[in-house]
Structure 1
Amino acid sequence: MSHDKHPAYDPTSARSIVEYAKRLEGHTLREMSDAPELQDPHKRRGAFGNAVEEYYFKYAINSDSAPDFSEAGLELKATPLKRTKKGELVAKERLVLTMIDYMSVPAETFETSHLLDKAGDILFIFYIYEPETNPVDYKVELAERWHIPTEDLPQLKKDWETVVNKIRSGHAEDISGSDTLYLEACTKAANGSIRRKQPFSDVLAKPRAWALKASYMTGIERQLLNKTRVIKRESGEETLSLLPLVRRRFEPFFGMTQRELMDHFEISNSKDACARITKRILGVGENEDVSELEKANAKPKTIRLKANSRPKEAISFPAFDYFELEKTDFEHSDFHAQLDQLYLFVIYREREKDVYALSDVCFWRMPEKDLSEAKRCYEQMRQNVREGRADLSVKSSENRCCHVRPHGRDSRDTRPQPYGEPVVKKCFWLNQGYLQEEIVLTLSS
């Protein structure tokens, strides 16, 4: 950008740029600039961000790798939010930061990495994406300068090293988004057949870029709006990544029964008593969300294990809609999203009959290799619905991972189906035996 003083802001001053950006909050580009309607914005990703640069900040778009506001060292990132079915705003997608150079990245350390360079000082413009709207009419929700919070650095470093160590060991082709919590190495190429060389193997690997996961982006937005609380770190805990930090919070309470924990935290007996205990252990209020868990898209789930390590009950998911099930394929289903979710399992073990004591915590997500088995269960249930037999379920003996069974209050708690009489509400469940194997495996790894 040239040194010409822009009448509305000083391009050499980050503070001036941010103040100017904040004027966009609550407004659209059409209201705040002379931006024309954008031609076929669906074809070009980044149409909104480019329009902000061109028509609001009035500088020429470039693809050069220096920060957008180079004299102020500030990178501009316009990032879309979408509304969930519940009406909450969440990040629509991950934020791609920079390509990964397989040949040079093994020589970097996290602290000297090209990635940290790109994510050092960012001006975020969060806007609300509306599918049928021209981008000049998207409303800007938030414009804010952002630096990586210190509490996130240990987990980002762990994620970075997980990916780079695969490259160092000659396995760039095995990198997977589910390896990491905040940062991911996402595939990035004009088409799926493109491959790149890697330094320590002759196997070609897909091109990938460093990106902040969508859940992390949601977490940033909520943290900037003060909607979440971070886990307070004690002295000596500065370098702990997320799971060791969470475990350290829980360890003092291992061995205490649910009743003892309720007394300790003065929590009344209720269906969600264990969920409330979890929040108190992590040091946040009952109506607050834990920033770090939100960024990792990690949902706390209480698991009770019998003395023989078998879960007391299978894990259930919310009841499904028979019409939705019939028309939605597995990859786009709520069930797939629920399995792709990371869970923080808070484990209570049976000490004596019906008395459970807190014993461990771990992160769990269904391994990719098991998703095809879950898909088989989903498709089988979908077929039942298509044949007008939504009354038929998928038994746990028919599938290694999951099954379907009623999830209503009683037999009168029904839902309509496309090709027959209404049937009792049902949902997908994870099998007890499968859960037992997965928990044993996760705790031992």
Structure 2
Amino acid sequence: MKFNTKEELLEYTSNIIGKTFKEIDSEHLLEHGSLTRQKGLLGHVVETGFYKYPINSDSKADFEELDIELKVTGYVKNKNGTLRAKERLVLSKIDYNTIIHETFETSHVLGKCKDMLIIWYEYDKNKEAKDFLITDYQLYDMSKDKEIFENDFKIIQGKVLDGKAHELSEGDTSYLGACTKARTSKDRTTQPFSDILSKPRAYSLKNAYMTGILRENIEHADMTFKSSSNEFKTVIDYVKDKLEPYFGKTQVEILEEITGKKYDDKIPKNISKMISDELIGKDEELADKSELFVKTSFIIKNLPIQENGKPRERMSFKTISLSDFEDKWGDSYWKNYFEETTLIVICYSEKNRSRNGYRILSDVKQISFDENDLESFEKTYNQIKLAIEKKDVGLLPTSANGFKNQLLEIAPKGVKGDDAYVNFFKRDKTKVAFMISKKLLYTKLIN
């Protein structure tokens, strides 16, 4: 089937809304295939059953005459009613031996950022794939994100050139990820500038990027930005720009300067967060501050640093829910969270053991988690999952009840000595949160 114009393609595509995959599976692919073994199966159903492309088409379901790429992907509804993409979109495999000779343009990793026609379906783990409902479609112009894609490509390429392909992490980049692409967790491949074997990886459009596209379309978000991605290529550039006038000043000096108030000895406990909220924005405001935050998974964190360079405290995340641990680690919310999330850490250094309020704004660091970190995190996750299954708080991986070289712990979030563990199983939302160990933070900060 050929289309002469984009309008003609979109008009035809509108007929797919409201259909299930079994209704368009004219080639009966779902009867013989499996989503676990064939990740692109639903895409093949749309190609052959709806657009009438032959299964062996060399065009890979691209609408070549219009230079449009077709993608079929799912979304899920969060507990609060918002929507998020179910998963990243995997593109082509990264060849460590050829990427070192490529430019972004010659790599063709994103087809030179052509238009992408996305067919969205609602994923429901209680349904079979054939019964998933197709609810929407959109034509997205990838070229508007080209600068960030190119910057991400150079970050991935740079690690390979430095002989650090084994240290690649999805959290290194903004939109274009380097996700693992292996048959088993033990698969390894060579890299050109190091003898250390690396996990095979593929380019991907990150989950957060797909979620941003989804929300722009389905939720019809009306966004006005105070700055755009044309000004800043990375989030860390954006944050450093906002903080640049205040480096070398104490927390109190900064807060008094930006608020016009005097604090004297009444130092707020959360003074660092007050500063970052004011200068950069609260978590829920970031997407309104800059387009950079709309399709990325960045979290702003503040951290006191001792004179020996070590962090004074662990780093906490949001409280966990029991229902977060229903899935195996590989399919879990938390694996995707730590895999894709990048921490922007604002460092306040102590001088002569200075107390809170008198620490000096000294640096901004970017932290992401590699495969070794994730393997340790998986142990923590599985220990919590086991504790939930057995309803035994004694199995929870606290700092006092964990395992050797544990990097991710749990601890009560909020008032010390509360009943977080006593009431751990009484409601889905707990009073316990993940904590990154000081040991791991120190390792990340000095690299």
Superposition TM-score, scaled by structure 1 size = 0.72
Cα shift at 1:157: 2.0
2:258: which partner in 1? 261
**C-alpha distance in 1 between matches for 2:221 and 2:209:** 15
The equivalent residue for 2:436 is 430
What's 2:7 paired with?
A: 15
Q: CA deviation at 1:76?
A: 0.9
Amino acid of the residue matched to residue 366 of structure 2? F
Corresponding residue to 1:226 among 221, 228, 236 = 221
Note the 1:27-426 alignment, pairs <5 A: 27-29=18-20, 38-39=30-31, 41-42=34-35, 43-65=37-59, 68-101=62-95, 104-117=98-111, 119-135=113-129, 137-150=131-144, 152-165=145-158, 175-188=168-181, 208-224=201-217, 225-226=220-221, 232-233=227-228, 237=231, 240-254=233-247, 255=249, 257-263=254-260, 273-274=274-275, 276-280=277-281, 285=285, 288=288, 290-305=290-305, 311=311, 313-320=313-320, 339-340=338-339, 341-349=341-349, 353-355=355-357, 358-371=361-374, 388=392, 390=394, 393-395=398-400, 401-407=407-413, 409=415, 411-412=418-419, 415-416=422-423, 425-426=431-432
- Measured after TM superposition, the shift of residue 70 of structure 1 is 1.3
Between the aligned partners of 1:298 and 1:35, the Cα distance in structure 2 is 42
- 1:328-369 CA deviation, whole Å, 9 max, x = no partner? 776666665554432122334568643256543222124544
Q: After superposition, what is the alpha-carbon deviation per residue over 1:256-291, rounded to whole angstroms, capped at 9, x for unaligned?
A: 523433449xxxx99774453254499x95784754
Q: Which runs of 5+ in 2 are unaligned?
A: 262-267
Contact preservation (8 Å) 1:316, 1:430? yes
What residue ranges of structure 1 are gaps of 5+ in the alignment?
4-10
Cα pair 1:231 1:292 within 8 Å, conserved: no
Q: Is the 8 A contact 1:30 1:36 kept in 2?
A: no
3-state SS, counterpart of residue 142 of structure 2: coil
Q: In structure 2, do the counterparts of structure 1 residues 249 and 148 end up closer, same or farther at CA, with 3 Å as the change threshold? A: farther
Partner of 1:7: none
CA contact (8 A) 1:319 1:426 kept: yes
Q: For residue 52 of structure 1, report the CA deviation from its aligned partner.
A: 2.3
Is this contact kept in 2: 1:67–1:73, CA < 8 A?
Answer: no
User: Take 1:289 and 1:337, find their aligned partners in 2: how far apart are those partners?
Assistant: 25
Q: Which amino acid in the other structure matches residue 81 of structure 1?
A: Y
Q: Is the 8 A contact 2:229 2:292 kept in 1?
A: no
| Residues paired across the two proteins, number | 419
Q: For residues 359 and 402 of structure 1, do their structure 2 counterparts lie closer, same or farther at Cα, with a shift above 3 Å needed?
A: same
For 1:258 and 1:367, locate their aligned partners in 2 and report how far apart those are by CA, in whole Å.
35
Partner secondary structure for residue 111 of structure 2: helix
> Could you tell me whether the CA contact under 8 Å between 1:219 and 1:294 is conserved in 2?
yes
For 2:168 and 2:324, how far apart are their aligned partners in 1?
33
Instruction: Output the TM-score relative to the length of structure 2.
Output: 0.72
Contact 1:98 1:118 in 2 (8 A): no
- Does the 8 Å contact 2:21/2:42 carry over to 1? no
Post-superposition Cα deviations, 1:185-224, rounded to whole Å, max 9, x if no partner, equal 3344667788778777899876543221222222222344
- Structure 2 vs 1, CA of residues 289 and 35 (structure 1 numbering), >3 Å: closer, same or farther? farther
**Which region of structure 1 is more displaced relative to structure 2, 42-51 or 29-38?**
29-38
- State whether residues 184 and 212 of structure 1, in contact with CA within 8 Å, keep that contact through their aligned partners in structure 2: yes
Structure-1 separation of matches of 2:94 and 2:254: 48
* Distance in 1, Cα, partners of 2:338 & 2:229: 33
Taking a change above 3 Å as real, the CA distance of residues 309 and 89 of structure 1, as seen in their structure-2 partners, is same
Contact 2:63–2:69, Cα closer than 8 Å, also in 1:
yes
Residue 157 of structure 1: SS of its match in structure 2?
helix
Question: d(CA) in 2 for partners of 1:381 and 1:107?
Answer: 45
* Per-residue deviation, 1:110: 0.9
Letter in 2 for 1:257: I
Q: Distance in 1 between matches of 2:225 and 2:184?
A: 39
Q: Work out whether residues 24 and 32 of structure 1, in 8 Å CA contact, stay in contact via their aligned partners in 2.
A: no
CA contact (8 A) 1:125 1:143 kept: yes
Over 3 Å counting, the alpha-carbon distance change for 1:285 and 1:199 in structure 2 is closer
CA distance in 2, matches of 1:433, 1:166: 24
Amino acid in structure 1 at the alignment position of 2:175: Y
Tell me whether 14-23 or 301-310 shows the greater mean CA deviation: 301-310
Check 1:379–1:157 CA distance in 2 against 1; reply closer, same or farther (3 A cut): same
State the AA in 1 paired with 2:356. Answer: D
How big is the shift at 1:57?
2.5
Structure-2 change in CA distance of 1:28 and 1:277 (3 Å) = farther
Structure 1 residue 433: deviation in Å?
Answer: 5.7
Q: Is the 8 A contact 1:315 1:430 kept in 2?
A: yes
Deviations 1:160-182 (A, max 9, x none): 22333455567766655454332
